[in-house]
Amino acid sequence: MERILAIRLRALGDVVLTTPALRALHRGHPGAALEVVTEPRYAPLLDGLEGVSKVWPLERTGAATVAMIAALRRRRFSLAVDFFGNPRSAQVTAGAGAARTAGYALRGRRHAYQVTVPRDHAPAPGRREYAAAAHLRLAAAVGGAADGLEARVARQPSADAEAARLLAAAGVGDPARTVGLIAAGTWATKTWPLASAALLSRRLLAAGHGVVAIIGPGEEGLGARLLRLAPGTRQLPPCDVGALAGVLARLEAVVGTDSGPRHLAAALGRPTYAWFGPTHPDTWSPPGPQHGYWQTSLPCRACDRTACPHWSCMPGLTPDEAADRVLAHLRLHGFQAPALGPAAGA
């Protein structure tokens, strides 16, 4: 049997946005077994996904990488495709011993691949390419057959039961009328001010929506402060990515910063709304009317800086306007909320 290897090590949103390319590889190589290497935390999103026959979890250690390469070489892949493009994924791609290799034409890594495509592509002047479309270009270069940009993920039965337990522990009584709020960001420059997130939560609560804060590892202090500033907000207990998928699938919508949970929610068919400062919505906002966004008007927007000396973009996105935009979006794509009320405590 022909075997194809796909490599996407991290992070949450990027793994999710690689799934259209995985489908393309499966469709373009009928009868081939598609196997995927990713970090263990993301394996539940791919294990059992249509077209994926095996998931290889790879820990972030040198010993694990060496052992993985040895195991992959025994599989005798006809094709290995690196959808990540960092030194370790390039090493795994080259070391797997596939008859043919492909990846992005990145400095210092392109020599690991026999087939390369540019990492960045401008579809029109002043515009940027959607991240999932870049992965589809790479898949197409090695025979992939695209069937759209919609991301999809697997859901594990055990994770669904855990999701119900987590929501109950958070005090969320009606998930279908509860909005998931993401206040933090992977980068400090992507994070919305906590006071803004609290005011938005109060507006959502006053309008009849429940709110549950989606808090990542290391963000527990931020979550506690948010709950003090916006009484009535709930906080999701710590959980793994598989359980998070089960939670998000039950919520009315997910709103907040440009983040991995937003992409996961979109892949699960939930409406989303996000605000953008240093990142670009062309690249990171899912297509379709269910997924709205608000971008800063500053001329330095979409700079992709992880640190900034003035950081005016995200603070300039005011919570009152954010609430107006989110509530309007929910009226179109969420449940029929009651008339907008005043901010809680006003």
Q: Is residue 155 part of a domain?
A: no
Segment 227-263, tens digit of pLDDT: 999 999 999 999 999 999 999 999 999 999 999 999 9
Between the alpha carbon of residue 306 and those of residues 19, 157, 215, 230, 302, the distances in Å are 26, 37, 20, 28, 11
Q: Is residue 338 part of a domain?
A: no
The answer, yes or no, to whether residue 52 has pLDDT greater than 80, is: yes
DSSP secondary structure string for all residues of 46-88: HTT-TTEEEEEE--SSHHHHHHHHHHHHTT--SEEEESS-SHH
Shared-domain flag, residues 75 and 180: no
Other CB atoms within 10 A of residue 120 CB: 10
**End-to-end Cα distance, the chain:** 66
Domain that holds residue 214: 163-333
Categorize the per-residue pLDDT at 346 as very low, low, confident or very high, splitting at 50, 70 and 90: very low
Domain boundary among 141, 174, 189: 141
Shared-domain flag, residues 48 and 112: yes
Q: Is residue 345 part of a domain?
A: no
DSSP secondary structure string for all residues of 1-13: --EEEEE----HH
Question: pLDDT higher for 216 or 13?
Answer: 13
Domain boundary among 141, 176, 192: 141
The answer, yes or no, to whether residue 345 has pLDDT greater than 80, is: no
Q: Is residue 154 part of a domain?
A: no
Shared-domain flag, residues 130 and 232: no
Q: Is residue 152 part of a domain?
A: no
Segment 261-274, tens digit of pLDDT: 999 999 999 999 99
Within its chain, how far is the Cα of 47 from the centroid?
17
Shared-domain flag, residues 74 and 118: yes
Shared-domain flag, residues 43 and 128: yes
Shared-domain flag, residues 44 and 136: yes
- Mean pLDDT (the chain) is 93
Segment 149-177, tens digit of pLDDT: 999 999 988 888 999 999 999 999 999 99
Shared-domain flag, residues 26 and 87: yes
Categorize the per-residue pLDDT at 343 as very low, low, confident or very high, splitting at 50, 70 and 90: very low
Categorize the per-residue pLDDT at 107 as very low, low, confident or very high, splitting at 50, 70 and 90: confident
Shared-domain flag, residues 278 and 322: yes
Segment 295-305, tens digit of pLDDT: 999 999 999 99
Can you give the pLDDT at residue 216? 82
The pLDDT of 89-110, averaged and rounded, is 94
Q: Is residue 302 part of a domain?
A: yes
Categorize the per-residue pLDDT at 340 as very low, low, confident or very high, splitting at 50, 70 and 90: very low
Categorize the per-residue pLDDT at 344 as very low, low, confident or very high, splitting at 50, 70 and 90: very low
Shared-domain flag, residues 295 and 175: yes
| Of 244, 31, 59, 32, residue with least CA distance to 6 | 32
Shared-domain flag, residues 107 and 177: no
Token pair belonging to 136: 């589809």
Shared-domain flag, residues 130 and 194: no
Q: Is residue 313 part of a domain?
A: yes
Domain count, the chain: 2
Can you give the pLDDT at residue 338? 40
The dihedral over CA atoms of 186, 187, 193, 196, expressed in degrees to the nearest 10, equals -40
Shared-domain flag, residues 227 and 292: yes
Which CATH number characterizes residue 72's domain? 3.40.50.2000
Q: Is residue 127 part of a domain?
A: yes
The answer, yes or no, to whether residue 220 has pLDDT greater than 70, is: yes
Q: What is the pTM of this model?
A: 0.94
Domain boundary among 106, 141, 176: 141
Question: pLDDT higher for 335 or 15?
Answer: 15
The pLDDT of 7-35, averaged and rounded, is 97
State the sign of the Cα–Cα–Cα–Cα dihedral 143, 12, 242, 286.
Answer: negative
Q: 169 preceded by cis ω (within 30°)?
A: no
